[in-house]
């Protein structure tokens, strides 16, 4: 029986040792995994115990600072003034010093690069000859370029923050204000100031959330264009009045034989108005020759410049001529209708033709001046468009560099997040290791209770063996055999008690080491929490830089769009000027045709 008890105790002790060995192996594995995780972190990390002696350092710290087990905290204390590294030191509940270094050079470089890009963009806007101003949602200036300073005689620092109505234009604080017009769906307005006429192109500026953050206003001096346009309108009206003064019907059609002009005589003859006839086919005249081979335009196409028709009891003669563009292409036809019913009208016709000849010469001369002015204006507008295209290319270069900056910041953010995730994984592994060590402590306590019970059993067995020996001695010869058995039982109980005591001592020593390991693991967990917090700070800083770069990229995109819009408007102005020149040439051609008709008459 006692043999079975001894074997049971030995088996229980063996099982306890196997369980403890497995748990210690698992604990060792988790500690090694934690160290390997820290070694993958590119940030230098070192730990020193409460006496400032070396406890742990990852591979990066060993490589940079050449740390070894003989070093102490004082070797790193001088790094707090390092220009390239930011040294962070903290303590855990075991007074262990945890030192983490972050690279502050890259952050400073990003900040310097950001300032340089802003300064470069400001220089580009200052180099433009067109006044440009930026206001916030409250219509307060946030930026004006050099041309605005020169135009208003102010300094940028003096006007930033002030209401844009301080410009002093006659449209300020009125419904024609550029920003007010923009809110009403109109992006272009104009004003007169300093003896000139100016156009204002206004557009919204949006932030990274695509919400309105302010307004961009570009002022263009259109004094020359406005004067030329006014002169052109005045002369066109003058020529129109001359044609209206001709008592004979005069009509002008395009290549599709649609009316583009009729004089007052046509209106009177057809009992309609000029506006009602514009764009309609000339066959609406209703003459007998309309839509026949004797139509005036049909005749001129085959080389005949004159035809006749009868209408309303009278006979009419139609003189037709082609209208040529500057390039010599036919762009339309002019038809002069004369009532030749009475011959006495010929004298009056000679007088009229003489007047027409003089008027035609004046029209030709005036058209020549308009054409020359329009060509000069078109050349200037084309030059301005070229300058804006060059500016657009420069802004696109800035946009590309800012985009690269934003991409680098996002890559840094991803690396930081990856390191943070590794630290969090190590933290989870450390928590699991602490849970395992707590389970070992609980198992050790249970084993201690079992061994205590075994010691009590051995003690009771020893007492029973002593009593048996006493009874055997009383029995004399009859009790000798029983005395031998009692002695063996007593010896067995003593060995069991000794084994239990040794086992208990071994378990106590193991528990003590487990507790020490638990303290170290707890310290490491605290240290890892500190690392995670530091990584979060670094990640936040990098995220702010990435956000600022994205916002700057968005603003550059908005400026590029606005410059493209300005370029489009300038190109439209250039096209309009060229069209005006072409119209002037066409008018001159029509005047020459009219002179030729008069000369032939």
Q: What is the pLDDT, as a whole number, of residue 480?
A: 66
| Rg, Å, the chain Cα set | 52
For 251, list phi and psi in degrees, rounded to 5: -130, 150
Cα(199)–Cα(571) distance, integer angstroms: 15
- Name the H helices within 55-172: 59-65, 74-77, 104-127, 146-152, 156-159
Q: What is the pLDDT, as a whole number, of residue 128?
A: 83
Q: What is the pLDDT, as a whole number, of residue 120?
A: 84
Percent of the chain scoring above 90 in pLDDT? 15
Per-residue H/E/C for 3-21: HHHHHHHHHHHHHHHHHHH
Is residue 3's pLDDT more than 50?
A: no
pLDDT band at 270 (very low <50, low <70, confident <90, very high): confident
Judge contact between 214 and 137, C-beta under 8 A: yes
Is residue 402's pLDDT more than 60?
A: yes
Average pLDDT, the chain: 77
CA distances from 465 to 110, 259, 472 (A): 87, 141, 10
Q: Do domains 129-221 and 224-341 have the same CATH topology?
A: yes
Give the E-state strand segments of 182-292 in sequence order. 188-193, 196-206, 212-221, 250-254, 259-262
Which token pair is 383?
């030059």
Is residue 333's pLDDT more than 90?
A: yes
Judge contact between 374 and 581, C-beta under 8 A: yes
Domain boundaries, the chain: 1-37+352-601, 45-127, 129-221, 224-341
CATH label, 1-37+352-601, candidates 1.10.600.10, 3.40.630.30, 3.30.430.20, 1.10.287.950: 1.10.287.950
Cα(214)–Cα(182) distance, integer angstroms: 12
Judge contact between 228 and 572, C-beta under 8 A: no
Cα(184)–Cα(61) distance, integer angstroms: 63
Q: Which residue has the higher pLDDT, 149 or 495?
A: 149
- Which residues, including other chains, have CB under 8 Å from residue 516's CB and lie 6 or more apart? none
Cα(565)–Cα(398) distance, integer angstroms: 18
Judge contact between 317 and 338, C-beta under 8 A: yes
CATH topology of domain 224-341: Beta-Lactamase (3.30.450)
Cα(439)–Cα(445) distance, integer angstroms: 10
Judge contact between 189 and 212, C-beta under 8 A: no
Model pLDDT for residues 4-49, shown as the tens digit of each residue:
444 454 555 455 555 666 666 666 776 677 677 777 777 778 887 7
DSSP 8-class letter at 258: B
Model pLDDT for residues 276-314, shown as the tens digit of each residue:
988 999 999 888 889 999 999 999 999 999 998 888 778
Cα(363)–Cα(588) distance, integer angstroms: 7
Q: What is the pLDDT, as a whole number, of residue 92?
A: 66
Q: What is the pLDDT, as a whole number, of residue 386?
A: 72
291 by DSSP, 3-state: which? coil
pLDDT band at 177 (very low <50, low <70, confident <90, very high): very high
Percent of the chain scoring above 70 in pLDDT? 71
Model pLDDT for residues 545-601, shown as the tens digit of each residue:
777 777 776 777 777 777 777 777 777 777 776 777 777 677 777 767 766 766 665
- Return the residue matching tokens 């004979």: 248
Cα(411)–Cα(416) distance, integer angstroms: 9
Which token pair is 375?
């060509």
Cα(83)–Cα(80) distance, integer angstroms: 9
Is residue 348's pLDDT more than 60?
A: no
Q: What is the pLDDT, as a whole number, of residue 1?
A: 44
Q: What is the pLDDT, as a whole number, of residue 578?
A: 72
Ramachandran area for residue 438 (φ above 0: left; ψ -120 to 50: alpha; else beta): alpha
Q: What is the pLDDT, as a whole number, of residue 487?
A: 74
CA distances from 410 to 393, 400, 405, 533, 543 (A): 26, 15, 9, 20, 8
Which token pair is 165?
């109505």
- Which residues, including other chains, have CB under 8 Å from residue 337's CB and lie 6 or more apart? 248, 249, 250, 251, 265, 266, 269, 316, 317, 318
Model pLDDT for residues 372-393, shown as the tens digit of each residue:
666 666 676 677 667 767 766 7
pLDDT band at 2 (very low <50, low <70, confident <90, very high): very low
Judge contact between 230 and 223, C-beta under 8 A: no
Is residue 482's pLDDT more than 70?
A: no
Cα(185)–Cα(214) distance, integer angstroms: 16
CA 395 to chain centre: 14
Judge contact between 66 and 79, C-beta under 8 A: no
CATH topology of domain 129-221: Beta-Lactamase (3.30.450)
Judge contact between 27 and 433, C-beta under 8 A: yes
* Closest to 391 in 3D by CA, of 595, 120, 23: 120
Geometric angle at alpha carbon 306, from 294 and 260, rounded to 5°: 80
Q: What is the pLDDT, as a whole number, of residue 218?
A: 92
Q: What is the pLDDT, as a whole number, of residue 203?
A: 92
Model pLDDT for residues 205-227, shown as the tens digit of each residue:
998 788 999 999 998 888 766 56
CA distances from 337 to 20, 266, 307, 309, 432 (A): 123, 9, 10, 10, 107
pLDDT band at 258 (very low <50, low <70, confident <90, very high): very high
Judge contact between 520 and 50, C-beta under 8 A: no
Q: What is the dihedral of CA 98, 99, 102, 103, to 10 degrees?
A: -170
Q: What is the pLDDT, as a whole number, of residue 363?
A: 67
By mean pLDDT, which of 149-153, 333-337, 429-433 is the weakest?
429-433
Model pLDDT for residues 409-428, shown as the tens digit of each residue:
777 777 767 776 776 777 67
* Closest to 217 in 3D by CA, of 565, 516, 532, 571: 565
Which whole number is the average pLDDT over 236-243? 81
Is residue 432's pLDDT more than 70?
A: yes
Which whole number is the average pLDDT over 155-181? 91
């Amino acid at each position: 029986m006692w043999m079975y008890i001894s074997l049971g105790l030995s088996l229980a002790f063996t099982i306890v040792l196997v369980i403890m060995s497995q748990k210690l192996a698992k604990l060792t594995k988790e500690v090694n995994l934690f160290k390997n995780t820290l070694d993958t972190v590119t940030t230098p990390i070192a730990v020193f115990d409460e006496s400032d002696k070396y406890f742990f350092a990852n591979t990066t710290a060993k490589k940079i600072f050449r740390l070894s087990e003989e070093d102490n905290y004082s070797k790193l204390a001088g790094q707090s003034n390092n220009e390239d590294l930011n040294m962070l030191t903290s303590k855990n509940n075991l007074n262990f010093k945890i030192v983490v270094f972050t690279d502050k050079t890259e952050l400073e470089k990003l900040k310097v690069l950001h300032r340089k890009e802003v300064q470069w963009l400001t220089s580009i806007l200052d180099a433009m000859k067109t006044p440009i101003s930026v206001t916030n949602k409250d219509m307060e200036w946030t930026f004006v370029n050099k041309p605005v300073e020169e135009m208003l005689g102010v300094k940028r620092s003096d006007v930033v923050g002030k209401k844009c109505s301080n410009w002093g234009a006659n449209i300020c604080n009125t419904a024609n204000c550029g920003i007010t017009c923009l809110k009403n769906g109109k992006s272009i307005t104009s004003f007169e100031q300093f003896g000139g006429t100016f156009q204002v192109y206004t557009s919204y500026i949006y932030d990274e959330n695509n919400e309105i953050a302010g307004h961009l206003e570009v002022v263009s001096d259109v004094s020359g264009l406005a004067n030329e346009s006014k002169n052109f309108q005045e002369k066109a009206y003058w020529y129109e009045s001359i044609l209206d003064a001709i008592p004979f019907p005069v009509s002008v059609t395009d290549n599709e034989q649609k009316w583009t002009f009729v004089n007052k005589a046509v209106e009177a003859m057809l009992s309609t108005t000029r506006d009602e006839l514009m764009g309609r086919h000339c066959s609406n005249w209703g003459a007998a020759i309309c839509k026949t081979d004797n139509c005036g335009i049909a005749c001129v196409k085959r080389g005949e410049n004159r035809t006749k028709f009868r209408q309303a009891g009278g006979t009419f003669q139609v003189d037709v001529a082609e209208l040529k563009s500057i390039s010599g292409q036919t762009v339309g036809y002019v038809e002069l209708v004369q009532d030749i019913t009475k011959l006495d009208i010929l004298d009056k016709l000679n007088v009229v033709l003489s007047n027409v000849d003089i008027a035609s010469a004046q029209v030709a001369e005036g058209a020549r001046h308009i054409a020359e002015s329009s060509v000069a204006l078109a050349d200037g507008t084309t030059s301005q468009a070229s300058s804006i295209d060059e500016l657009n290319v420069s802004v696109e270069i800035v946009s590309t560099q800012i985009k690269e900056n934003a991409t680098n910041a996002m890559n840094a953010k991803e690396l930081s997040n990856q390191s943070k995730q590794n630290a969090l994984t190590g933290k989870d592994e450390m928590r699991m290791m602490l849970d395992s060590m707590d389970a070992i402590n609980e198992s050790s306590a249970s084993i201690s209770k079992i061994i205590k019970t075994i010691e009590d059993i051995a003690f009771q067995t020893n007492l029973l063996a002593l009593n048996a020996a006493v009874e055997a001695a009383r029995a004399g010869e009859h009790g000798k055999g029983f005395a031998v058995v009692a002695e063996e039982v007593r010896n067995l109980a003593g060995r069991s008690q000794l084994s239990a005591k040794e086992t208990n001592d071994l378990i106590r020593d193991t528990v003590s080491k487990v507790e020490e390991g638990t303290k170290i693991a707890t310290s490491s967990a605290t240290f890892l929490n500190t690392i995670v917090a530091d990584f979060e700070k670094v990640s936040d800083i990098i995220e702010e830089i990435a956000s600022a770069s994205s916002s700057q990229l968005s603003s550059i995109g908005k400026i590029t769009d606005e410059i493209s819009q300005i370029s489009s408007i300038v190109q439209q102005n250039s096209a309009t000027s060229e069209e005006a020149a072409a119209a002037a040439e066409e008018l001159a051609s029509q005047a020459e045709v009219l002179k030729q008709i008069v000369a032939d008459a």
